[in-house]
Amino acid sequence: MQNNMYQLPKDHLRHASAPAIRTMPAHEAVIEVLKEQGVDTIFGYPGGAIMPIYDGLEKVPHNMTHILTAAEGGAGHMATGYARASGKTGVLFVTSGPGFTNAVTPMADAQGDSVPMVVIAGQVARSLIGTDAFQEVDATGISRPITKHNMLINDPARLVSQLRQAFRLAADGRPGVVHVDIPKDVQNADVTFGPDDHAFMSPGVTSLPENYHAAVQMMRQARKPVFYVGGGVINAGAEASATLVRLLNETGFPATSTLMGLGAYPTTHRAHMGMLGMHGTYEANMAMHDADLIIAVGARFDDRVTGKVKDENGKRLFAPHARVIHIDVDPAEMNKIVRADISLYGDAAYALHNLREAWRAQPKKPAKSRLKNWWAQINAWRQVRSLDIEAPNGEDIRAQHVMMKLGEHLVYLPDYTVATNVGQHQMWAAQYLPFKKPRQLMTSGKVGTMGYGLPAAIGAKRARPDAPAIMITGDGSWRMNTPEVETACRYDLPVKIVMLNNNSLNMVGQWQRGFHGGRMSQSTFANSSKDFCAEFRAQGSNAKAERVSDPADLDAAMKRMMAYDDGPYFLEIKIRNEDCLPMMPAGSVHNHMLLSPEASARLKGLAHG
């Protein structure tokens, strides 16, 4: 059997000049390892059990920046935003007890969305573990289900090697979170620090060449193929995205993206049918349903994409006519939800390269004539224009128009990042904003964390200081973000915040109206007189804020926001309260969609035409 092992890209390996072997306190060795790993930014919040490591930050010469946040939760999301925007591993420092538990949600969020992060947590001294000591919790027990790996370092002699291993594990294969719990007395023990002699190569499972040739034969036979693209392509680096674009151009196949896959190829590409799934476009969901071949790349058939997969008799309802080629770096994702006809294991850059080479090697058959009818059908579905809404009436502002207007400002920028909270605004941003390249969208996918947006935007701005950082939020999610405004002010990070204010938790409200008999239980902020702008300005002299309620004022306000770079800018926009559509109801089949009145009328007209 051919050995088809794949060497990780060089940026996953840290080959610093070999340090001399020396003895030092463990808390100093932690800083030396971070330097060795190429860390330039640490996010965190000090406390009793991690004080020695913070002391190491002062004792050891380094060029790293530590961002002191308002709370550990914000620090964790900043590390995630930094990692997503940069492609590097995020680093988080927290203390024991509540410091660690405040970081649990960011850890679960990063793990769920395959973001590399190393969490270095202080722990009470070894003699106190298990005694219910002050600020002691079973951190490794708590973190086990929400991390890729965790370790409690009881032996000081193993600290350096285990911390190095943590960075390797976080970035290798499917990225994730590694939690390193270090008791306080271990931090103060003397350890040996020397060269890292463990050159690292991913031992991940890969597929044999004949599997790629079989996949290409399937692709050349297909009459209704679809590329289904997920966040694994973005995690695999720029070359994965570039190879995917080449394949789209060479095959002529249509493509659709998950929420996490937006930006893996330009959303302006002619093959792009829009995002698919619960709030995906009509054409994307219909194409997936009617496809005879799905090439899933770095996607995991999440329930928000598939809807109801099988009926009570086991008959497949999701893409019932399609054969499936599944590319993924994580073997555990294969056949978990949808059974693949061909499974191609490996990093997406490696797998897409092999797939393209196999495509180019086989005798070429004209694809345009074979796909002519398929593209005609897709273009007919596109005529429903499921995201088009009525023109502004001059009386109120619709969230969709806000996103369209923001998109007009972004499309001409060479680079930018967009971070969102979770709710209707998140879906509107995904539906309407342009994403031209990988690592432009920071959003909480698997866990759906409402307090994610602002700290993620701060982390992204720290990672890419020359790229404007825009954050999209609703008023409900924003209430979970306000402590970190002061962090942005303190570090002069000009994050631009667009808040869509309908005075409600309207994604909850949408479900209550549609699926809970209209019983609006605790989804509106009744009698709220909160002045968001005044509260924002109070966080720092460089914080600017304004409110817009007249559609005629929107464009000028957005220009002012985009032009301001001396600190954070807050643009509160009062919007109409309405549903986010299209929508695939939970538990429904993925081609059964609720459309806007405008799109429904167009669909009816096309059917009668």
Could you list the active site residues? Answer: 72, 134-135, 184, 507
| Dihedral class, residue 324 (left if φ above 0, else alpha if ψ from -120 to 50, else beta) | beta
Q: List Cβ neighbours of 493 (8 Å cut-off, separation of 6 or more).
A: 458, 461, 462, 469, 487, 567, 568
Give the span between the Cα atoms of 283 and 595, in whole angstroms: 12
Q: Is 467 exposed, middle or buried (0-12, 13-18, 19+ CB in 10 A)?
A: middle
Strand order in the sheet with 149-152: 65-68, 41-44, 90-94, 117-123, 177-183, 149-152
Helix (H) or strand (E) holding 226: strand 225-229
Q: Around Cβ 550, how many Cβ atoms within 10 Å?
A: 12
Nearest residue to 523 via CA among 594, 424, 441: 424
Length of the chain, in residues = 609
CA 367 to centroid of chain Cα atoms: 34
The answer to whether 299 and 240 are in contact (CB under 8 A) is: no
The answer to whether 85 and 464 are in contact (CB under 8 A) is: yes
The answer to whether 176 and 108 are in contact (CB under 8 A) is: no
Strand partners, 572: 499, 547
Q: Which amino acid is at 311?
A: D
